[in-house]
Structure 1
Amino acid sequence: MRGRRTPPEGPRLGAVRLVIAGLLVAAAVIVGVVVNANDPHVIFAAAAPLFGDWQPHLGPGTPAAILIAFLVIAKGPELAQHRFALPIAYATATAFTFSLAMIDGWSRFVTRLTTEDEYLHEVPRITDIPAMLQGFAARIPDFQPDSWTTHVSGHPPGALLTFVALDRIGLGGGAAASIFCVLVGSLAVVAIPLTIKNNAVLPFLVLFPGAVWVGVSADGMFMGVAAVGIYLLTRWPLLGGVVLGWCLFLSYGLVLLAPLALVAVGRKVGWALAGALAVVGAFALAGFWWLDGYELVKLRYYQGIGDTRPYWYWVWANLAALALVIGPAGIRGLRRDKWVIAAAVAILAADLSGLSKAETERIWLSFAIWLLAGTAKLDNRRRWLTAQAVTALAVNHLVLTNW
């Protein structure tokens, strides 16, 4: 017996979602302003629900960002059908991300990953990689003479190893690291349409408002690696498992890629698990056990502002930040699609865990971008692309983001 087709979603439900999202963002901003006016050391986000400062500004990237957005709005829907659509989209997404970053200026772009809280602060101190891996977990808790800096302690060693490797091949320093994160992060724009087998999503991925945080944060790089891993699962599950196994050592939170991975791999899950376990086993043999790191990072989380930031605010304000990341088209495109549902499950688990209080505009990038899968079926595409561009440009010009 032939199954029933799912009826198309009416415009009214999409409009309701947009109104709810708008009210959620407004509420998060208003509550954030009120709480910060009373005590700025409670939610620790001056531009809550985003991590940054309210600081309207223009920059050298402003004209380029506006021009690229205009061209994508005008030509994107047609170019999605071009024989070279994927390389064109990748180049355009990379250019758009760079131009957004340049709104804040080159000097800020090249120093994002070099501060005392970031990965590159530790890179010159890594002279013995095997010894580093064997002693990595012991240095995660804070208030020790050799405690890792904030971002290194909060992630498995794969993230630090990535930047150490760049340094070893002659690409050290903030400029190379930041450019690398943008180039790798933008791979998601190619990997996702290949995975869902629909190029209609391309222009929406190019104008993904989350590009504000891809340029630049290490989480933007994680997003690209994760998207490539999910795609590889659909073609070569063993290789995809290896890449997603590596993702486990970029960020503990990327274990929540599991719902997306299961959708991608189907019945060949055994091959994927074999690939992932090979990576886990290799790190274990080198001296780092993932579960030990995870338990200690929870301790470190509550040794800092994670203990102060209130769950009652962030458990819903995180979703307001997410709405700004995926933009109006992402919200309007939410539907009963397997990729959207899988990404939503991952985000809900992260949100309820209490280990994602603030800064989710970058932390959730690897999941959030998959919510745009539903935009492939949107009508009035230029109108929704305009809404995406306006969101990205408004956020980047009104808020001086920390990433």
Structure 2
Amino acid sequence: MTRSHRLPVVGLVVAFLLAAAAMLVPAVSGWNVHVNSFPPLHAEWLPRLGPGTAPALLLAALASWRAVDLAQRASWRALLAWSFVAALAWMVALAYVDGPHGMGAILDSHYEYMNTARRYPDFAAVLPDWVSRITYARTPHNWTVHVAGHPPGATLFFWLLVRLGFDTGIGAGWVLVVLVATTPAAVLCTLRVLDAEDAARRAAPFLVFGPAAVWSAVSADALFGTCAAWGVAALAVAATRTSWAARAGWSVVAGLLLGALVMLSYGLPVMGVLCLAVLWLARSWWPLPITAVVALGVVGVFALLGFDYLQALKAIHIRYYEGVASRRPPSYWMWANLGALVFSAGPLLGAGLGLLLARARTLVRDPATRVVATLALAGVAMVVLVDLSQMSRAEVERIWLPFEPWLLLSVALLPESWRRRGLVLQLVVALLVQHLLQTGW
């Protein structure tokens, strides 16, 4: 076995062992890690079939048969259109294993944003009081779990949906899934702008198909990832344009999207690592000041309306450890969070990262692999930072969603035989997770 084949094997084995250990350690030892009955996932064992089973199996078969070849041979515009349609169909089919209920039940739960969004006709009026309602001190007037755990931009998105008439969980779910289906196209565009179209074509099937779709169809975190992906794509365009007007215009677009991202999740400013990687690859720091000023301007608008971001960070830290997180042992979750990443991104990620991490210096120096290796390494750095923060113990299968497309770029480094077989593995894992587990987010 050559070294190029041995390294992915090691990575794949490590991924399987990590996921298996995260499952078996609590089960065998009786260790209560304070999550639903299938750690490391927030899920319960519930084997079932449903209306989406047959379409999901058909899509998996078609993807196994044609996706790799189609990604290589299609025109660029056709590839982008295909990535959107296929991602949308895959997410909806998996969600519909539970019927229409699968598209909206989670968004309608007490812990999510929709109930709060319906309750307040004047959103700006609640911003001055936002921080004081994060901790449990004002029970029963404190925000629910997800509203408290995120800046107001996340709730604002659903507030806008309600005002536009998408006031049910199913209605909001359809809007969410259509937007999230554009994420692969955003990542592909970023790669092409950075002169890595061949890598984009190799990565495309894995950005579309995989177990991440189980959570993407029903989680706002996937929407946050979409916002991040298009913000990074706009930044890449800004960094590679030649005219001043184009660079300035795209820098403003990037700043608006990345500023919105800061107001969607407290954990996603770490996307700055990816943004710096893009500018380094483009060999242009020109967009940085404009993008940063515009992004800060977005945050400033919320501040003018009464939301204090820095005070909110302090309050969310208090709220987090007032809840179940204080009982979730870090000695388990520091590494079990990565086991959840294997479930969510799919085990082939281990093969890609095995090759990437073992040959990082060589891959970054090689012009043919520099872009994909650098972006994937930025993804690794972001996951490490989030994990070390200790502000995400458990339920991270959805929290990892914004980072997974960039991590999965490492799969483009694998030999073709690995990618063809690996896509089948990714599809099988997705089908098993959705049909055997009732996921909580």
Match of 1:271 in 2: 290
Separation in 2, partners of 1:265, 1:137: 34
222-231 or 137-146, larger mean C-alpha shift: 137-146
Is it true that 1:65 corresponds to 2:56 in the alignment? yes
SS at match of 1:365: coil
Separation in 2, partners of 1:326, 1:110: 22
The residue type equivalent to 2:210 in the other structure is F
Match of 1:349 in 2: 385
* Cα deviation 1:351-399 (Å, max 9, x = unaligned): 1111110111101110122111122233213211101101111111121
Separation in 2, partners of 1:9, 1:104: 44
Once the two structures are superposed, the pairs formed by residues 221-300 of structure 1 within 5 Å of their partners are: 221-235=223-237, 236-266=250-280, 267=285, 268-300=287-319
Match of 1:82 in 2: 74
- Kept in 2, the 8 Å contact 1:257–1:346? The answer is yes
Separation in 2, partners of 1:139, 1:49: 30
* Cα pair distance change 1:138/1:19, threshold 3 Å: same
SS at match of 1:53: strand
Match of 2:181 in 1: 186
- Kept in 1, the 8 Å contact 2:152–2:264? The answer is yes
Match of 1:320 among 336, 339, 355: 339
Once the two structures are superposed, the pairs formed by residues 1-400 of structure 1 within 5 Å of their partners are: 10-34=4-28, 37=30, 39=32, 42-80=33-71, 81-83=73-75, 84-144=78-138, 145-197=140-192, 198-235=200-237, 236-266=250-280, 267=285, 268-334=287-353, 335=356, 336=360, 337-378=373-414, 379-380=416-417, 381-400=419-438
The residue type equivalent to 1:149 in the other structure is T
Match of 2:364 in 1: none
- Kept in 2, the 8 Å contact 1:158–1:246? The answer is yes
Please, what TM-score do these two structures have when normalized by structure 2? 0.86
Separation in 2, partners of 1:13, 1:382: 17
* Cα pair distance change 1:202/1:38, threshold 3 Å: closer
Separation in 1, partners of 2:39, 2:333: 9
Separation in 2, partners of 1:9, 1:202: 25
Please, what TM-score do these two structures have when normalized by structure 1? 0.94
SS at match of 1:366: coil
Separation in 1, partners of 2:102, 2:93: 13
- 1:45 CA drift (Å): 2.7
- Kept in 2, the 8 Å contact 1:119–1:160? The answer is yes
Runs of at least 5 residues in structure 1 that lack an aligned partner in the other structure:
1-7
Separation in 1, partners of 2:84, 2:404: 18
Runs of at least 5 residues in structure 2 that lack an aligned partner in the other structure:
193-199, 238-249, 361-372
Give 1 or 2: higher helix fraction. Answer: 2
- Kept in 2, the 8 Å contact 1:208–1:369? The answer is no
- 1:238 CA drift (Å): 2.4
Separation in 2, partners of 1:192, 1:208: 16
- Kept in 2, the 8 Å contact 1:231–1:264? The answer is no
User: How many residue pairs were aligned?
Assistant: 393
92-101 or 43-52, larger mean C-alpha shift: 43-52
- 1:99 CA drift (Å): 0.7
The residue type equivalent to 2:398 in the other structure is R
139-148 or 317-326, larger mean C-alpha shift: 139-148
Separation in 2, partners of 1:122, 1:167: 10
SS at match of 2:51: coil
- 1:256 CA drift (Å): 1.2
Separation in 1, partners of 2:15, 2:352: 13
List structure 1 runs of 4+ shifted beyond 3 angstroms.
Answer: none
- 1:38 CA drift (Å): 6.0
Query: In angstroms, what is the RMSD of aligned CA positions?
Result: 1.5
Separation in 2, partners of 1:62, 1:214: 17
Separation in 2, partners of 1:118, 1:343: 27
SS at match of 2:184: helix
* Cα deviation 1:9-36 (Å, max 9, x = unaligned): 621111111111111111111112235x
* Cα pair distance change 1:326/1:124, threshold 3 Å: closer
